[in-house]
Structures are given as C-alpha cells and as structure tokens.
Amino acid sequence: MVGSALVRRLQQAGYHNLVVRTSQELDLRDQAAVAAFFAQEKPEYVLLAAAKVGGIVANNTYRADFLYDNLMIQNNVISQSHAHDVKKLLFLGSSCIYPKLAPQPIKEEYLLTGPLEPTNEPYAIAKIAGLKLCEAFRAQHGRHFISAMPTNLYGPGDNYDLQNSHVLPALLRKFHEAREQGRPEVEIWGTGTPRREFLHVDDLAAACLHLLLHYDGAEPVNIGTGEDLTIAELAILVCDVTGAIRFDTPKPDGTPRKLLDVNKLKVLGWRYTISLREGIEQVYQEVFKGVRK
C-alpha cells in the first residue's frame, strides 16, 4: 500500500528513474539478496516502506514473525544503504513505537518513556530498532538517514482480511458484507471508546517527499492529521446506513488513544489534504465498487 502510493507521488512530481521490487521479486529478509540488489542497482535515495504489518490479532498471534521479519528487512536495507553510499534514506516507522499511555497528543520526544502496548510490542520494538539504527549510522558515519512515524494508514492497496487487517479496512469489509447479506448487526471488537487517528496513504506519500526535500535531522518526525475520533464514531462514519452496531466488549481495545503531535511537520510546511470522510468514500468506491445505497 505505502510503496505504491510513494511511486504514484514521485511520478506525479516528475521522478521517473524509480527502482522498485515486490516482495516476490526480492526477499528483503535475505541479506545476500539485498546486498546483490544494491550492488546491481546502486540507488541514490532509498524510501524504506517495506514491513510485515497487521492488526491486533495478527500482531498478537505472530509475535516472533513480526519481530524477526521486520528486524531483518530494515537491518539489511539500512546497512546496505550505508555500504553503497546512499545519499539519503527515509525509514518509515509507526506510531505504535510510543508508550501505550503516552500523553496526548504524542510528541516525538515521548519515545521510550513508558511501556508499549503489549499486543503489538514485537512490531514496535522492531521499528524502534530501525529508527535507532538510522540514528546510529548518522552519528557514527554521518549518513543522511531520517525517520518518520506515520499514524494509522488506509487507502488503495490496503489489506481487507478480517484476521490480519487494521481497524478501518476491517470495518469497511464488515459493513459491506453485512449490507450484502442483509444482516442487521455488525460486531466490532472492544467498547468503541478508544480514539484513533487516520491518514490517507496518498497524504503520507506527499509528506514523505516533503521530508526528503526539506528535512535532514536526527530526530524522527510524526506524520498524521493531528485529529482523531473514537472507534464508535469511525464505525458510524463507515456504516453510513441505518442499522444496529454491537460492540463485543470482552475483546481487547488496544491503546486507549494514539494521537500524534504533528507540529514539527507543520513547521516544516506540510499538512494533510484528504479528509477522513472523503478518503473513506474514495476507498469504498474503489474496493467495493460503490454498492452502498
């Protein structure tokens, strides 16, 4: 999802000498394969968006996979970027790197000030390690490696598997299937009270290009909207039809709130452009072919 959005944005901005690989073409966990790729292609700039990702169920079920795979992916790419004198690298982390009960909105300096959310701790630890590896190469070798921490993303190319997807695509699929099957209820995990922030992936891509062109600091930069809503409010927005919503309260909520402080990004001159309602409508039309009434 993120890689495709980055390619679209770069092409729109006039960059056409792009080198990309799918996970089927290049296994980034394979150190030798990554080294051979860098030796052959010699990229000048690297945007590291590749990762093993998923929602609460996937993160909590495949804990070893999420930690190992993400560590291998980022270690190989970042180290080879150093070995082949890449001019600039942008590492994409995640807002889950911040403490579960961090003050809201979350500032970049809150990193490592408290315990993580247990359900996605392996993924968060891997992303923290990637961020720190970029910092270390910058400090020890003077590399222009920067890091950005996106909020929750959605958009074209998202994962709609109910067991492994994030909350927004999962809700889209649940409501779509309930509508198609004539069911009056949609089950939603938790109480509906946690608050979440959502950013369209095309806005993320625009922010990444902005950072590549205008930022070269050691500190990570949050990428988000600076706005959030409850899961219940999100469900009502996605639903947008008459019907009952049942919250399965014994299921885990996850972090109570996870709103990013985006003042650093605003100072750098960038703000999101796609509203949540507009983005959800676009995605629903693209993925489910506009079957809503």
Higher pLDDT, 282 or 265: 265
Residues 6+ apart with CB under 8 A from 258: 95, 96, 98, 106, 151, 152, 195, 196, 197, 228
What integer pLDDT is reported at residue 38 of this predicted model?
98
Whether 123 sits among the annotated catalytic residues: the reply is yes
As a whole number, mean pLDDT of residues 91-119 equals 95
User: Which residue shows structure tokens 């980034």?
Assistant: 28
The tokens describing 106, both together, are 């979350």
Global pTM reads: 0.86
pLDDT of 117 over the 70 cut: yes
pLDDT of 62 over the 70 cut: yes
Residues 6+ apart with CB under 8 A from 52: 65, 66, 69, 70, 73, 123
Domain positions in the chain = 2-288
What integer pLDDT is reported at residue 162 of this predicted model?
77
Question: How do residues 227-275 score in pLDDT, each as one tens digit?
Answer: 999 999 999 898 863 344 555 666 676 777 889 999 999 999 999 999 9
What integer pLDDT is reported at residue 35 of this predicted model?
98
pLDDT of 89 over the 50 cut: yes
pLDDT tier at 292, thresholds 50, 70, 90: very low
Residue ranges of the annotated binding site for substrate are 174, 189, 196, 253
Active-site residue (options: 123, 154, 272, 284)? 123
Question: How do residues 171-224 score in pLDDT, each as one tens digit?
Answer: 888 888 887 788 878 888 788 898 999 999 999 999 999 999 999 999 999 999
Residue ranges of the annotated binding site are 92-95, 127, 150-153, 166, 174, 189, 196, 253
H or E stretch covering 223: strand 221-223
Residues 6+ apart with CB under 8 A from 172: 160, 238, 280, 283, 284, 287, 288
> Coil, strand, or helix at residue 3?
helix
**Strand order through the sheet with 145-150:** 45-48, 88-92, 145-150, 221-223
Alpha-carbon distance 143 to 250, whole Å? 48
Spell out a b/e string for 2-11, using b for 16 or more CB atoms within 10 Å of the CB, else e: bbbbbbebbe
Residue ranges of the annotated binding site for NADP(+) are 92-95, 127, 150-153, 166
Give the 3-state secondary structure of 91-144.
EECCHHHCCCCCCCCECHHHCCCCCCCHHHHHHHHHHHHHHHHHHHHHHHHCCC
Asked if 223 and 90 touch (Cβ cutoff 8 Å), the reply is: no
Residues 6+ apart with CB under 8 A from 212: 45, 47, 88, 90, 146
Question: How do residues 121-147 score in pLDDT, each as one tens digit?
Answer: 999 999 999 999 999 999 999 999 999
CATH of domain 2-288: 3.40.50.720
As a whole number, mean pLDDT of residues 92-117 equals 95
What integer pLDDT is reported at residue 242 of this predicted model?
31
What integer pLDDT is reported at residue 290 of this predicted model?
56
